[in-house]
Structure 1
Amino acid sequence: MSDTHGIVTIDTGFQRPRFDACYLIVEGGRAAFVDCGTNHSVPAMLAALADRGLPREAVDWLVLTHVHLDHAGGAGLLMQHLPNARLLVHPRGAPHMIDPARLIAGATAVYGEAEMARSYGAIQPVAAERVVAADDGHTLELAGRRLQCIDTPGHARHHLCVWDERSRSWFTGDTFGLSYREFDTEHGAFVIPTTSPVQFEPGPLKASIARLLDFAPEAMYLTHFGRVTGAARLARDLIEQIDAMVAAARATHGRPERHARLAEALTALYLRRARAHGVPLDDARIQALLAVDIELNAQGLAVWLDRN
């Protein structure tokens, strides 16, 4: 699907439908991708180009919000199909794109070799001369269309968000949380924060969210999943939940079965907020849709708690 600003939402197919998105921006016959999913997502991305009559040579940029594998795992393979493209990434993420050995080792330690192959495929490196490290405020142009990158830590220290002046929208990666379309109601989108297992930092995340709002955006393009509006309300919801999640984590400190207790607390928080938002799905369906995120948020909070 696309909108009037030449932005195409591509479902990468990761995990389930409408879970993981990347974006194609088209301007004046040139193109850029924002995030790319996994190796298994590459055919869908190339098909999106073909559907719009664009040759692969028309892609100038692959912009990564960060290098977690559901956002960047397919970057090396995709770049092999895009002869003119350069890859833009946060300076902390650039070394991992050039030599993904540490990324592969870390993910394999968590998921195991079989799951790595099933979900992500073999991670490919990107030639160093094709990688551009984007410091805070870095701008690029796509056929005259200005895209600005800002440093947005909180979910990860190697995270950036991309401001598109044409659409007055942000490509937010995971900084602006996740919002699945199954939870939409007459009140609009429903959103929850997403932590990461090793680099969640609540203070910087709240500051990053506030910085996004400073641009008075008309829309946010989330990796999980799609375009949402009403950024001011969603930002308030995110910050309230970040505070509630931190409080829940602190309440479990030193208690037995901490992970299970924290997952239960997060489940109760999200169910309560979903009901307040008017989500009509039953509890079991809500929990099923959020199961992966509840698990990851509990892990991320635990790591943050131990570190602090």
Structure 2
Amino acid sequence: MHTALPSYLRDLGHGIHAIDTGFQRDDFDAAYLLVHGGRAAFIDTGTNFAVPRLLGALDTLGLPQSAVDWIIPTHVHLDHAGGVGLLAQQLPQARVLVHPRGVRHMVDPTMLWQGALAVYGAEEMARSYGQLQPVAAERVQASHDGMVLDLAGRALLLADTPGHAKHHHCLWDATSRGWFTGDTFGLSYREFDTAQGAWLIPTSTPVQFEPEALAASVQRLLAVDPACMYLTHYGRVTDVQRLGRHFLGLLDRMVALGRAVQHAPDRTAALERGLLDLYVESLADHGCGFDRGEIARLLAIDITLNAQGMTVWLDRPA
């Protein structure tokens, strides 16, 4: 007899479960639990408020907390890594594997907190993220490009994938032929699925957006001909090569938009309008029936953050 899974937990096969962290809205932010040979790893955690769901997933699957060997944020943005410290407190045997540029932020999250505070403000930080918890330095390990992690005999390959952030790595799971992509392969919300399949957008959130590096990272992910991508926002997507072409084309259009409004009097507002125009047009081509207002509502957070990130990029010295 199989235990019924809670609504926030989805079995994707190959020992991989997606956990809806509950951040912002349903089907917006995922953490992944990879189980093999009785051992487990969490890939991305969501925020502090997701930790009960992560622990609940272990309970549902009949795994003791001592089975978790690794907690692996793809990068240290708080919707991916905000819960790492608190989760690590509950899983004392687990080690934290993070991009080398992110190690110091896991050990001392003060700068991470201050940076997010500047973007979101104190009220939103308290509502959405909670107080960040540090991880003891001896429990944090830096990844490196080409590193192979052994999870009870299952190999996970780490790839350095800058472009969304300098401190971003992705994980290749040969068993499922899928990449855990964090934000490198963009955002794909299920509301936008049509008969043509999934739809996605690049994410250029502050402050390290680099379109050329991002395009190179995506091309690297596509080069192994993956069967699927495990996105933090949101869930598993297939038809990867089509999505990759779409991603790179939309990224080129975002760059062109940025150059076109670079010297506009109210550049950030112009970027927000221009991004919404791009998304509305792209979704119409995709067969999505949502009107402009509904698209603006569903993508409101991303439009704001993408415009802010593009502003930082445009101001960066060439």
Question: Matched residues in 1 for 2:276 and 2:293: separation?
Answer: 11
CA deviation after TM superposition for structure 1 residue 3, in Å: 2.0
Which residue pairs with 2:305 in the alignment? 296
Q: Is the 8 A contact 2:268 2:311 kept in 1?
A: yes
CA deviation after TM superposition for structure 1 residue 111, in Å: 1.9
* Residue 189 of structure 2 corresponds to residue 168 of structure 1: no
Question: Matched residues in 2 for 1:261 and 1:114: separation?
Answer: 27
CA deviation after TM superposition for structure 1 residue 192, in Å: 0.5
State the Cα deviation string for residues 116-168 of structure 1 (Å, max 9, x = none): 11110000000111101001011111111100110000000000000001101
Alignment partner of 1:218 out of 201, 223, 227: 227
CA deviation after TM superposition for structure 1 residue 196, in Å: 2.0
CA deviation after TM superposition for structure 1 residue 109, in Å: 2.1
Partner secondary structure for residue 93 of structure 1: helix
Question: Matched residues in 2 for 1:306 and 1:65: separation?
Answer: 26
Q: Which moved more, 1:183-192 or 1:112-121?
A: 112-121
State the Cα deviation string for residues 159-192 of structure 1 (Å, max 9, x = none): 0000001101000000000000011111110011
Which residue pairs with 2:5 in the alignment? none
CA deviation after TM superposition for structure 1 residue 257, in Å: 1.2
Q: What's the TM-score once normalised by structure 2's chain length?
A: 0.95
Which residue pairs with 1:195 in the alignment? 204
Q: Which runs of 5+ in 1 are unaligned?
A: none
Whichever residue aligns with residue 284 of structure 1, its letter is G
Question: Matched residues in 1 for 2:175 and 2:84: separation?
Answer: 25
Q: Which moved more, 1:249-258 or 1:159-168?
A: 249-258
Q: Write the mapping of 1:123-134 to structure 2, written as runs, cut at 5 A.
A: 123-134=132-143
Q: Is the 8 A contact 2:205 2:307 kept in 1?
A: no
Partner secondary structure for residue 92 of structure 1: helix
* Residue 48 of structure 2 corresponds to residue 45 of structure 1: no
CA deviation after TM superposition for structure 1 residue 43, in Å: 0.4
Q: Which runs of 5+ in 2 are unaligned?
A: 1-9
Alignment partner of 1:182 out of 191, 195, 213: 191
Q: Write the mapping of 1:1-308 to structure 2, written as runs, cut at 5 A.
A: 1-307=10-316, 308=318
Question: Matched residues in 1 for 2:300 and 2:113: separation?
Answer: 24
Whichever residue aligns with residue 83 of structure 1, its letter is P
Partner secondary structure for residue 33 of structure 1: strand
Question: Matched residues in 1 for 2:31 and 2:134: separation?
Answer: 20
Q: What's the TM-score once normalised by structure 1's chain length?
A: 0.99
Partner secondary structure for residue 62 of structure 1: strand
Count of paired positions: 308
Aligned Cα RMSD in Å? 0.8
Question: Matched residues in 2 for 1:102 and 1:286: separation?
Answer: 33
Question: Matched residues in 1 for 2:76 and 2:131: separation?
Answer: 15
CA deviation after TM superposition for structure 1 residue 114, in Å: 2.1
CA deviation after TM superposition for structure 1 residue 104, in Å: 1.0
Question: Matched residues in 1 for 2:308 and 2:124: separation?
Answer: 19
Identity, % of aligned pairs? 61
Whichever residue aligns with residue 65 of structure 2, its letter is R
